[in-house]
């Protein structure tokens, strides 16, 4: 049975905006994106929203629903009471372009800053061999749909524009970890993670893990192991001696 749902949607641009109230029809089995589309079709044809697959796989429809970072297409209306007001706002960490659409280019900038996979010299593509256990470890990280909800949530850059320069965000620290754990990768990423990608700014609050729609254990399986490698490197007496000699 359908009902009239109460919605509050942020509308505006980079110059400012605010919340607007709407009453919209909601039908059984619908997700928030269905209702946003009905709003576009019936009341606000110019409402901007980014989406693509409507199946939780493209990572385009990231926004905040009642203050929580979520995918619009994977949030069922049945989780809200019929008389509840559902508030939909754009991701807070990235600049608004219009309405629910944000400029996520920070994330692409960070992706470009990570050096690519570096295979051993003399091994041609097709000749790479690795243990199944190593394949499985990185498989989890490769489920990422690049929705950037983790980066949006992390307190290091949420409301801290000044940290964006020095912090890659959980999504890309996870990418560094994935490459670092790759048995064939020849690049040394431990020091880079700390000095260039801001691993030290992460204080393992795990908020990124909590919002990941792919349920990737970002903190436990990527960030903490990277931190352990940094610590090992720092406190390993041979490495310490090497650093000393090198510096002198
Ligand atoms: Fe989204 Fe999870 Fe990938 Fe972060 S790690 S971008 S939350 S899918
Ligand atoms: Fe941020 Fe996740 Fe670390 S939320 S502080 S990157 S554990
Ligand atoms: Fe593709 Fe929501 S529209 S993840």
**Nearest atom within ligand 3 for CA of residue 53:** 1
| CA pair distance 148, 157, nearest whole angstrom | 12
**Nearest atom within ligand 2 for CA of residue 205:** 7
Residue bearing the CA closest to ligand 2, atom 6: 170
Quick one: the chain helix, strand, coil %, rounded to 5?
Answer: 40, 15, 45
Provide residues with CB under 6 Å of ligand 2: 153-154, 156, 170, 202-208, 219, 223
Q: Which long-range contacts (CB under 8 A, 24 or more apart) does 158-167 make?
A: 158/92, 158/93, 159/92, 159/93, 163/198, 163/201, 164/106, 166/198, 166/201, 167/197, 167/198, 167/201
Average confidence (pLDDT) over 216-244: 80
**What is the CA(63)–ligand 2 centre distance, in A?**
19
205 lines ligand 3 (CB under 6 A): no
| CA pair distance 47, 246, nearest whole angstrom | 59
Write the DSSP assignment of 111-177 as a string of letters: HHHSPPP-PPTT--TT-----HHHHHHHHHHTT-----HHHHH-TTTTT-GGGTTT---HHHHHHHH
* The pLDDT value given to residue 207: 97
Residue bearing the CA closest to ligand 1, atom 8: 144
* The pLDDT value given to residue 141: 97
Percent of the chain clearing pLDDT 70 (strictly above): 94
Q: Find, among 74, 107, 67, 120, the residue nearest to 90 by Cα.
A: 67
pLDDT digits (tens, 9 = 90+) for 20-71: 999 999 999 999 999 999 999 999 999 999 999 999 999 999 999 999 999 9
pTM above 0.90, yes or no: yes
Mean of the per-residue pLDDT values of the chain = 93
**Nearest atom within ligand 1 for CA of residue 208:** 7
**What is the CA(239)–ligand 1 centre distance, in A?**
34
Q: Find, among 77, 37, 79, 78, the residue nearest to 54 by Cα.
A: 37
**Nearest atom within ligand 1 for CA of residue 143:** 8
User: Does residue 14 carry a pLDDT above 50?
Assistant: yes
Round the CA-based radius of gyration of the chain to a whole number and report it.
22
What secondary structure letter does DSSP report for 28? Answer: T
What are the residue ranges of helices labelled H in 1-81? 32-42
If you search the block for the tokens 């997700």, which residue do you land on?
Answer: 31
Residue bearing the CA closest to ligand 1, atom 1: 147
* The pLDDT value given to residue 236: 60
pLDDT digits (tens, 9 = 90+) for 101-148: 999 999 999 999 999 999 999 888 888 888 999 889 899 999 999 999
- Contact in structure between 208 and 218 (CB atoms under 8 Å): yes
User: Does residue 239 carry a pLDDT above 80?
Assistant: no
- Close Cβ partners of 133 (under 8 Å, ≥ 6 residues apart): none
| Neighbour-count burial of 156, counting CB atoms closer than 10 A to its CB (0-12 exposed, 13-18 middle, 19+ buried) | buried
Q: How many CA atoms lie within 13 A of 16 on its CB side?
A: 0
Q: Which ligand is nearest to the CA of 60?
A: 3
In this prediction, residue 248 has a pLDDT band, given cuts at 50, 70 and 90, of very low
Q: Which residue has the higher pLDDT, 20 or 235?
A: 20
Reported ipTM? 0.99
Average confidence (pLDDT) over 155-175: 97
**What is the CA(65)–ligand 2 centre distance, in A?**
21
Q: Find, among 148, 150, 130, the residue nearest to 138 by Cα.
A: 130
- Close Cβ partners of 151 (under 8 Å, ≥ 6 residues apart): 93, 106, 107, 157, 169, 170, 171, 172, 208
């Amino acid at each position: 049975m359908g009902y009239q749902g109460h919605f509050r949607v942020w509308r505006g641009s980079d110059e400012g905006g605010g919340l607007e109230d709407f009453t919209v029809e909601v039908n059984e089995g619908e997700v928030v994106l269905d209702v946003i589309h009905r709003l576009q079709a019936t009341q606000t044809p110019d409402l901007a929203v980014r989406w693509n697959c409507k199946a939780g796989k493209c990572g385009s429809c990231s926004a905040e629903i009642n203050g929580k970072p979520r995918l619009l297409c994977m949030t069922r209306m049945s989780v809200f009471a019929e008389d509840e007001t559902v508030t939909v706002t754009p991701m807070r960490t990235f600049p608004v372009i219009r309405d629910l659409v944000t400029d996520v280019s920070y994330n692409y900038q960070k992706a470009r800053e990570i050096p690519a996979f570096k295979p051993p010299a003399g091994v041609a593509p097709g000749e790479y061999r690795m243990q199944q256990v190593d394949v499985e470890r990185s498989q989890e990280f490769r489920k990422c749909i690049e929705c950037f909800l983790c980066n949006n949530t992390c307190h290091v850059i949420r409301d801290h524009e000044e940290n964006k320069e020095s912090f890659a965000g959980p999504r890309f620290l996870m990418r560094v970890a994935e490459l670092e754990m790759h048995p064939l990768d020849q690049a040394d990423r431990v020091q880079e993670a700390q000095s260039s990608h801001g691993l030290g700014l992460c204080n393992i609050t795990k908020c990124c893990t909590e919002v990941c729609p792919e349920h990737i254990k970002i903190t436990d399986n990527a960030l903490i192991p990277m931190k352990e490698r940094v610590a090992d490197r720092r406190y390993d007496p041979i490495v310490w001696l090497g650093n000393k000699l090198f510096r002198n």
